[in-house]
Amino acid sequence: MTDVETPTEALQDLRRARRHNRLSEVHWIDALYRVYMVGLAAVIFIMFAVSRLPNDRLTNDEAMRFANEAPMWLGLGFAIAIGIGLRSGGRGGPLVLEAPVVMHELNAPVPRESVVRGPAIKQLRFMAFAGAVIGAIIGEVAAHRLPVNPAAAIACGALSFALAGVLASATALAASGRRLRWWPANFLAAILIAWSALDVLGKRTTSPFTLMADIAFWPITFRALALISIVLVAVVIWLGLSRIGDLSIEHALRRAGLVAQLRFAVTLQDVRTVVLLRRQLSQENARLRPWIRIGRSKKKSFIPPTWKRDWQSYLRFPLPRLIRMAMFGAIAGLSLGALWRGTIPMIIVAGLALYLVAYDASEPTAQEVDHPTRWESFPEAPGVLILQHIAAAFVVMAFICLIAAGAATLLVPFAVVWKLTLVMFVPVALAAAVSAMISTAQGAPDMAGLAGLGPDVMGWLMIARLVIPPAITIVALLPLLSAGSDPNAINTTKVGNATVYSLFAVGGAILYLRTRKPKHL
């Protein structure tokens, strides 16, 4: 009979030795410098966000009205996060174990719970910390406009977001430990999101995620019913940890390999490889049959073959990708609605959401980059072929901008939305499409060439590669700041004149795309 305590103690000794060896290679000055840089960046962001908020505070009645309506929206965001956790658990997540841990420790004569419980608890702890930090920042920013105690706003915001982060991770652990298949996990996620969406439409509190969001508004009005969400989180944590040892070793080994490659690609800032690995990690494959089949025409057509190939690619997008694109479009619209109401930093959220959607819209361009030999065989200059993909990506982004406009009507009067949409959707859709194509076409950085420029110049160039493409989309949204906040006096002329500057940025981006050439490994 095998003594369980002896191999378990040996496992703990092995992990302590590995942790000691890993920490011994990190100098305390380097660790302190990283903490200092992250803290400095966070403080700068908070100060910028607070400085761009309106100076006027809400009255007590306005704050009470806000506390009665906002928890439904925040609860919907929490429901989406839990839905993402369920989807991750249905595909073998959320734990990412190292390959040696999967191969040796999970196959050793040690209870799997002893191997996996430690990483699971660490992930729950990290999600709680990350959620608390995000909630505290939001609470501190909100306290500048709400008639509440800043300390209470920070504490309640941190508690609410920490619970949401822990619940999302614990839900994924519960689904993974019970080996829940992907389709029931997605179906359950859709039900939970729909439940919170009904709360938004009906302006009522029935979903547990709405109750969890209500904790963030305790400084305005205290509702004891929200304590139920804390009990729910505790129950789901128990469910997640009780059978965590039953996870699939095959899924764990597959995730270990993909995540190792993903981290390496992130280090090299190879965005295209990051996207491909993320799709493999989430098992997001193209459809075998297109949504609509485009037949071959026997007659000579005036339609460019590039245009047809682009739409053949789009029509094979899987349903999760289409839903994600529509969701990011809605997030962009809600962010622009908050921008019109005075929350200026939300323009960054809107720009990033549109940029992420445009990255999916630039998939045909990515296919050219992935096949440099075929791209190089084009009879004209290589950059000309890239420019031919702009038209289809622009049409896709135009649809996304219409979705964003529809979502913005939830926060902005319809008369304001349609006037600004007529002026803005063309330059914004074009800027988003071109910015994502730049990020796709530039490929992985030439580390050997950048190293010759010196570490200082190399660092700035690496930052520019990441910042400039999404900045083009954000620049295209800046004319909205000149629209004014009076719904009866929207200055569309001033907005239209300001779009000229964004078109200059788009023109420079197009010239850059014109010079792109294939890269061979």
Q: Are 438 and 469 in contact (CB under 8 A)?
A: yes
Same domain, 480 and 339: yes
Q: What share of the chain is helix, strand, coil (3-state, %, to 5)?
A: 75, 0, 25
Tokens linked to 179? 């080996």
- CA–CA distance, 233 with 238 (Å, rounded to integer): 9
Residue 17 lies in a domain: no
Per-residue pLDDT at 1: 46
**Above 50 in pLDDT, residue 78?**
yes
How confident is residue 168, by pLDDT bands cut at 50, 70 and 90? Answer: very high
How confident is residue 340, by pLDDT bands cut at 50, 70 and 90? Answer: confident
Alpha helices in 227-345 (DSSP H): 227-242, 249-268, 271-281, 305-314, 319-340
* Sequence letter at residue 315: L
Longest Cα separation, the chain: 84
Same domain, 109 and 237: yes
Which residues, including other chains, have CB under 8 Å from residue 144's CB and lie 6 or more apart? Answer: 50, 53, 57
Split into its structural domains, the chain has a count of 2
- CA–CA distance, 469 with 478 (Å, rounded to integer): 15
Same domain, 253 and 338: no
- Give the angle subtended at the CA of 336 by the CAs of 333 and 338, to the nearest 5°: 115
Per-residue pLDDT at 297: 62
Write the pLDDT tens digit of every residue in 250-299: 888 888 888 888 777 777 667 777 888 888 877 788 888 888 887 766 56
Residue 74 lies in a domain: yes
Helix axis angle for 363-370 and 390-408, nearest 10°, is 150
**95 vs 212 pLDDT, higher one:** 212
Same domain, 246 and 334: no
**Above 50 in pLDDT, residue 229?**
yes
Tokens linked to 119? 């990483």
Please choose, from the candidates 114, 115, 123, 118, the residue with its C-alpha nearest in 3D space to the C-alpha of residue 95: 123
Residue 333 lies in a domain: yes
Same domain, 78 and 219: yes
Alpha helices in 409-454 (DSSP H): 414-441, 447-451
Give the domain extent around 110: 41-46+57-264
Same domain, 244 and 335: no
**Above 70 in pLDDT, residue 344?**
yes
Same domain, 392 and 463: yes
Same domain, 389 and 487: yes
* Sequence letter at residue 180: L
Residue 203 lies in a domain: yes
Tokens linked to 12? 């703990």
* Sequence letter at residue 327: M
| 3-class state of residue 500 by DSSP | helix
Q: Name, of 66-75, 95-104, 164-173, 464-473, the range with top average pLDDT.
A: 164-173
DSSP 312-360: HHHTT--HHHHHHHHHHHHHHHHHHHHHHTT-TTHHHHHHHHHHHHHHH
Same domain, 229 and 320: no
- CA–CA distance, 346 with 338 (Å, rounded to integer): 7
Per-residue pLDDT at 51: 62
Per-residue pLDDT at 394: 93
H or E element at residue 202: helix 182-202
Residue 208 lies in a domain: yes
**Above 60 in pLDDT, residue 233?**
yes
Residue 36 lies in a domain: no
**Above 60 in pLDDT, residue 4?**
no
| 3-class state of residue 367 by DSSP | helix
Residue 107 lies in a domain: yes
Per-residue pLDDT at 505: 86
Same domain, 356 and 474: yes
Total Cβ atoms within 10 A of residue 366: 23
Same domain, 318 and 221: no
Same domain, 332 and 259: no
Among 4-8, 60-64, 153-157, the minimum mean pLDDT is found in 4-8
Residue 51 lies in a domain: no
